[in-house]
Amino acid sequence: MSNDIVNPSLVPQRILRGGDKMPGIGMGTFGSDRFSAEDIAAAVKGAAEVGFRLFDCASVYGNEHLIGEVFEDIMKSGITREELFITSKVWNDMHGKGDVLLSCAKSLKDLKLDYIDLYFVHWPFRNFHPKGAAPDYHNKNARPFSIEQYMETWYQMERLQKAGYVKHIGVSNMTVPKLKELFKYCTVMPAAIEMELHPCFQQPEQFKFALDHGIQPIGFCPIGSPTRPDRDKTSEDYVDIEDPAIVEIAKAHNVHPAVICVKWAVQRGQTPIPFSIHRKEYASNIRCAVEDPLTEEEMKKIEGSDKNCRLIKGQVFLWDGAKDWKDLWDLNGEITK
């Protein structure tokens, strides 16, 4: 097995606001309702063995208590806490006064950590769904985005950072109009943004907007998330690993098309967080970040594969009166009320 190990110091690093470094590729831990928490924890252990140091966690994934045991083992094996970069996220039902602090404390306890490197507001809504919700699930208490409510949550995030429980704070599933509102009121700017990014959904405007404001993008669904929950699948969705440009470039490099999606992400400048429970796959994900880069011409060709195809539509968070999932994403350039 030892020949599948990558030296973590070879992995490209992103520089966050304030100068801290974050690896340019990480391991996701969202099992997508398809894998057990035990499977995912075992994959985290294996991923650390092959060279991963960034692990993207969240309270709602329901597996932080098991991943925490793995982190303990990892650190006993000689990898220091400082070498690891661990994120977590506050879920939508814990945005109220005092709740964010409680949620962070629980994640710290479950993950068996003294601090979290980067803590996110998972979604910019207090709307939530039960585990394994059906595609047409609707929460009667759901409400549109409110900057007042979001700032109540964000100021608690700022306090967590000032107190040292988290090193950086970030946003997730945001839009440019919502970010502009946040910038008006925040006293600590987000260090990173988690957003859906893959060759068929490149979000060039928001990507550039984030970088222009010193916010590092982290890309989820980097290979188009074939194992995403069924509620997030529609017949119009494009499949990145079947895109003709991706397939052609994969042939030229003699690799699986998924590898090309990950290479593209790392070279473009986001930090992809692919997830797999299979050692062969996650070992190949980190290896492809350090060898056999894509040419400028190949990068350009993939730029042409953008279909503006959002896979994680978030429709379970819609409020009464919303037309469809597009209302969550402010597609007309202003916040949808």
CATH number of 8-328: 3.20.20.100
State how far the Cα of 201 lies from the Cα of 208, in Å rounded to an integer: 14
Q: What was the pLDDT predicted at 298?
A: 98
Burial (CB count within 10 angstroms: exposed 0-12, middle 13-18, buried 19+), residue 308: exposed
Task: Say whether pLDDT at 92 is over 90.
Answer: no
The dihedral formed by the CA atoms of 88, 69, 103 and 228, expressed in degrees to the nearest 10: 50
Task: Say whether pLDDT at 245 is over 70.
Answer: yes
What is residue 65's three-state secondary structure? helix
**Mean pLDDT, to the nearest integer, of 300-321?**
93
Give the number of other CB atoms < 10 A from CB of residue 222: 27
Contact predicate 85/20, CB 8 Å: no
Is the pTM of the predicted complex or chain greater than 0.85? yes
The dihedral formed by the CA atoms of 149, 155, 157 and 159, expressed in degrees to the nearest 10: -150
Q: What was the pLDDT predicted at 2?
A: 62
Task: Say whether pLDDT at 299 is over 80.
Answer: yes
Q: What was the pLDDT predicted at 34?
A: 77
Domain positions in the chain are: 8-328
What is residue 304's three-state secondary structure? coil
With bands split at pLDDT 50, 70 and 90, how would you rate the model's confidence at 62? confident
State how far the Cα of 280 lies from the Cα of 270, in Å rounded to an integer: 23
With bands split at pLDDT 50, 70 and 90, how would you rate the model's confidence at 282? very high
- 54 beta partners: 85
At 91, give phi and psi (nearest 5°): -80, 165
Contact predicate 199/264, CB 8 Å: yes
Q: How far is CA 122 from CA 56, 75, 272, 292, in A?
A: 12, 27, 17, 34
65 is in an annotated binding site: no
pLDDT digits (tens, 9 = 90+) for 184-243: 999 999 999 999 999 999 999 999 999 999 999 999 999 987 767 677 777 788 999 999
Contact predicate 259/272, CB 8 Å: no
Q: Is 61 a catalytic residue?
A: yes
